[in-house]
Amino acid sequence: MCGITGYLGPRSAVDTALNNLKRLEYRGYDSAGVAYPNCTHVQVVRAAGKIANLEGVLLATPHAANVAIAHTRWATHGGPSESNAHPHGDCSGRIAVVHNGIIENYASLRSELVASGHQFASETDTEVLAHLIEANLPSGQPGPEEIAGAIRVALRRVRGSYAIALISQDAPDMVFVARQDSPLVIGIGDGETFLASDIPAVMRYTRKVILLEDGDFATLTSERIGITDLHGVPVLRFPIEVTWDDAAAEKDGYEHFMLKEIHEGPRTVRDTLRGRMAGKGRVELPGVAFTPQEWAGFQRFVIVGCGTAYHAGVVGKRLFEQLLHRPVETAVASEFRYSEPILDAQTLVILVSQSGETADTLAAMRAAKPKGAKTLAIVNVVGSTLAREADATLLTQAGPEIGVASTKAYLAQLTALTLLGLFLVQTRPCEPTGATQETIDTLLWGLHGLPAVLERCLQDEAQIASLAESLAQHSSFFYLGRGYDYAISLEAALKLKEISYLHAEAYPAGEMKHGPLALVESGVAVIGFCTQPITNEKMLSNLKEVKAREGTIIAVIREGDRVPDCADAVITVPNAAAALMPIVTMVSMQLLAYYVAKARGCEIDQPRNLAKSVTVE
């Protein structure tokens, strides 16, 4: 998401910090800002839009300094604007802070600070940090140790994720930094120190970096780095030498953005869950602007999307029907507006999109509103057209996704739909639903542990890469499943099509004998999903039909399940609740598609004929 840089040393600090910030532009952002100490206070300069806009403002602003911090913001709390851009300051103007992450308890902290007289200038969660630190500073002119102590006390009250950098007029030759669940690196130069949220930002100046870990707090000067925990206890972090070239560094050492983003899946799910899993087995959706009466009034649901987002909707349909016992439809956005959809005030139209700018999805939303339906956007970009125009918005937290073939955004969409389904059950406690309390509790428990489960899926990468080498020789692929397994097969087949240019089709397994089985012969590979116990016996029969016609069978099974005797190869995935298996299984399918495409020598991040955001119909 956001980007942080900082500099301490003999160069022009502001220019150096901004030049390094440009190395992070690939992450995506909607505003930028810089802060540096001057004679009387900390100077903060910000601008909406690109870094070039900020540079234009700086042309008219003296900015000679040897210390600076800078930031590009991907909006979450509050829309894209100059006032919401980072850095943010305190009431006195003597400190400024930049922040990546989400402060989950910012609302209660803000209320407390306002009650004690603090005045806020933005809608952001980040500004709370500046005022909370100010509240812990002694009066007068605090020294570096007192500033560090105030920051540590403030951070111990914070719930959520952060990478922060702070400068103070009372310690003008220092930068104070801390990290929890958001990356932060320190670059070590000769008489100069660099700071960034990603290694690429510092590589033109130094290859020696310290990677801060969760719970670390550091004080930086141009000559010295001191690291402690949040209680002031010193910790050791040893520098590493970066050996990647610059292009690889932007990808954190991965060969392609797609592979990097597959590996970001667990963190993406964790970020999408953060702040929404309340105590006592409840889901909260802060910021989704429907009243309790509106939530309870929805009796019918339509999930609309294109491509990957539509496939997420197919999974969501099964889940919503299981949980709510209410009619749920899915619709391809490009067909929705021409289908004379039957909608009314009791219908919630859920529009799923990564970019929030997909033309067909926007058209579907605009067609739904005049018919009286309410619209809810599940979207990854806060300032997008879809987020602005929908009646309510549920943000995913995937961050920028560079690879054209969606990976982590799909996992975030499935996670958001699962949270939404569970929340809807909570809004109608007196109505009969299709889910037992045991089912709901199993889902909630499964969501808590889901990021760790996805990390385990990634451990099988080498095995999947080896399998992909042999599968790359096949001419055609079928992806088969039943129930949730069929829903996931749609997206799995799309991933292979998009980047390997191989024919791949998804079918309900029971439909193969109604026509497609005629295409099965030697050289045809069939991926059979067997993760749903209720349908596994029938899946076995379907796979045997394929085997009898000399197709190559790859069975996808859960840990501990029996390997089908007709399988030529097996991909094993961790066990999870039935409704969560599409998320778990998809990590392996993304890796399989990636390595098949790599074996075929295909362009992976930018496949032919495709664009990341389709803004025309």
Q: Which residues are catalytic?
A: 2, 612
Answer yes or no: are the C-beta atoms of 34 and 87 closer than 8 Å: yes
Decide if 207 contacts 188 (C-beta within 8 A): no
Please tell me the distance from the alpha carbon of residue 480 to that of residue 484, in angstroms, as a whole number.
11
DSSP string, 396-464: -------SSS-SHHHHHHHHHHHHHHHHHHHT-TTS--S--HHHHHHHHHHHHHHHHHHHHHHTTHHHH
CB-count burial class (<10 Å; 0-12, 13-18, 19+) for 15: middle
Tokens (6 digits) for 16 = 């150096």
Neighbours of 213 (CB within 10 A): 14
User: What interhelical angle do 408-426 and 265-273 show, nearest 10?
Assistant: 30
Q: Which long-range contacts (CB under 8 A, 24 or more apart) does 495-498 make?
A: 495/405, 495/407, 495/589, 495/590, 495/593, 496/592, 496/593, 496/596, 496/597, 498/404, 498/405, 498/593, 498/607, 498/610
CA geometry: angle at 60 spanning 120 and 200, to 5°? 75
- Bridge partners of 558? 573
Q: What are phi and psi of 521, to 5 degrees?
A: -160, 180
Euclidean distance between CA atoms 231 and 213, whole angstroms: 15
- Helix (H) or strand (E) run with residue 395 in it: strand 392-395
**CA-CA distance, 71 to 24, in Å (whole number)?**
10
The CA radius of gyration of the chain, in Å to the nearest whole number, is 26
CA angle 153-193-3, nearest 5°? 70
The answer to whether 90 touches 127, Cβ cutoff 8 Å, is no
Contact between 236 and 210 under an 8 Å Cβ cutoff? The reply is: no
C-alpha distances in Å from residue 124, one per residue of 6, 102, 161, 513: 21, 10, 14, 56
- C-alpha distance across the termini of the chain, in Å: 28
The answer to whether 90 and 130 are in contact (CB under 8 A) is yes
C-alpha–C-alpha distance, residues 233 and 603, integer Å: 49
Identify residue 211 by its one-letter amino acid code: L
Place of tokens 């961790």: 574
| Distance, CA of 379 to CA of 355 (rounded, Å) | 7
Read off the DSSP letter of residue 2. Answer: -
